[in-house]
Amino acid sequence: MRAPAVGIQHVTRPLTRFRKRPDAAIVLGTILVFLVFGAVDPESWFQFFTMINITRYAAILGLLAIGQTIVILSREIDLSVGSVYGIVAIAFIASEPTLGVPLSLLAALMLAAAIGLLNALLVLRGGISSMIATLGALFFYRGIIYVTTGGTVMRFSQGARAHWLTQAFGGQWLRLDNAFLWFMLIAVLASLVLYHSRFGNHLLAVGGDETTALARGVTVVRTKTIAFVACSLLAGLSGIVTIAQNPQTHVTLGMQLELESIAAAVIGGTQLGGGRGTVLGSVLGTFFLTAVRSEMITLGAPPSWYTAFVGIALLLGATINTVMARRSGA
């Protein structure tokens, strides 16, 4: 009788381990969505352009969602990412005629890092809640975009569009968008940093229980500052990738992306209370949202329904993740 029990254990242990993962629900949800859409609408779903469309928008939203995940894991939130995405992209375009592509890209990313640092200062030194500080930043940087551009984003010159560095972010490789490849690379790197580095340990410890983390010698301020800067940098990079791909833009660039990025992270199993979540979950949360919107439009549902769907998916995702976390004792 023992042998079968051991056999069952071999099967159940990985299943139990899987169920304990914060991203278990979104892994199943994404597989389900891909299977259902493939069965319901195979003609459109398996088209090359559908996949390109999903991966392209997922790359843009996903970079933001990874950054958001890092901040949420530290038990903070960054509502400014939509405006940071916009202002960094516009700064890249605006400074290019003077600085050239490499330096303007560097300057734009430095701007992103500076915004992240300022957010961290406001929250960690100023004692303002991250929700309020970054909400203020969201409005402030959007306002700066409107004031400085006068309603129109400058054109990105043909020379700049053809520059190798622009192409490195906006071009294609083996018919796949470079933006998507960057997204995948950054997702892998972020996963490695979160789960196999000292900083990752500190981040999860700070998000799990700040007092205990502090007692164990973790420098909370430094850890959270890095999280805010990384989040802004990824938002900025996402903006640059967008411009490199499609330079015809507008001052509305990035509007409401902050909420979509939070939704992707939460649906992906990241708990707003901090300390629990995975990069894989947020990546899948991004794919899930993007795929559902694409298919809803394809099936003829008005795109405005998508907004309602995100709300339902968010509530369902958060509930399922909480229930699964409780049941697995995580």
Partner 1 sequence: MRGITLRFAAIVVLLLLVTGGNSYAAAYKYRFVMVSHIGSNDPNMKWLTLSMAEFEKRYPDVKTEYVSTNEYSLQKFVELLRQAIATKPNGIAVPIVSSDALAPVLKGAIAQGIPVVAFNIPDPRPQGKRIPYLTYVGGDEYLAGLRLGQHALELAKAGKIPNPQRVLCAIHDAAHQGLKLRCKGMADAMKTINAQVDNLFITADPARARSIMQSYLTKNKSVNYIFAVASWSSPWAYGVAKELGRNPGVGASNGTIVITVDESPVALEGIKQGKVLETHSQGFWLQGYAPMEILYWYNNLGLWPQADFLTGPVIIDSTNVGRWVPFVRNVFGTEYDKQVTW
Closer CB to partner 1, 77 or 243, in the complex: 243
Residue at 61: amino acid letter: L
Q: What angle do CA 282, 284, 286 make, to 5 degrees?
A: 70
Residue from 1, 302, 312, 329 in contact with partner 1 (CB under 8 A): 302
Residues 206-235, one symbol each (x = binds partner 1 by CB under 8 A, - = not), give ------------------------------
The total number of residues shown for the chain amounts to: 330
Q: What are the backbone dihedrals phi and psi of residue 172, each rounded to the nearest 5 degrees, phi first?
A: -130, 155
Closer CB to partner 1, 37 or 228, in the complex: 37
Residue at 206: amino acid letter: V
Which residues have CB under 8 Å from 126's CB, separation 6+? Answer: 133
Instruction: Tell me: does residue 257 bind partner 1 (CB under 8 A).
Output: yes
Smallest distance from the beta carbon of 252 to partner 1, in angstroms? 4
Instruction: Tell me: does residue 67 bind partner 1 (CB under 8 A).
Output: no
Instruction: Tell me: does residue 108 bind partner 1 (CB under 8 A).
Output: no
Helix, strand, coil share of the chain (percent; to 5):
80, 0, 20
Closer CB to partner 1, 64 or 227, in the complex: 64
Give the H or E element holding residue 67: helix 48-73
Half-sphere exposure of 316 (CA within 13 A, CB side): 10
Instruction: Tell me: does residue 155 bind partner 1 (CB under 8 A).
Output: yes
Residue from 66, 90, 137, 253 in contact with partner 1 (CB under 8 A): 253
Give alpha helix (H) positions in 121-197.
130-149, 158-162, 164-170, 178-196
CA 25 to CA 246: how far, in whole Å? 34
* # binding residues, partner 1 (CB under 8 A): 45
Instruction: Tell me: does residue 298 bind partner 1 (CB under 8 A).
Output: yes
Instruction: Tell me: does residue 255 bind partner 1 (CB under 8 A).
Output: yes
Q: Which residues bind partner 1 (CB under 8 A)?
A: 44, 47, 49-50, 53, 56-57, 60, 142-143, 145-147, 149-156, 242, 246-257, 290, 293-295, 297-300, 302-304
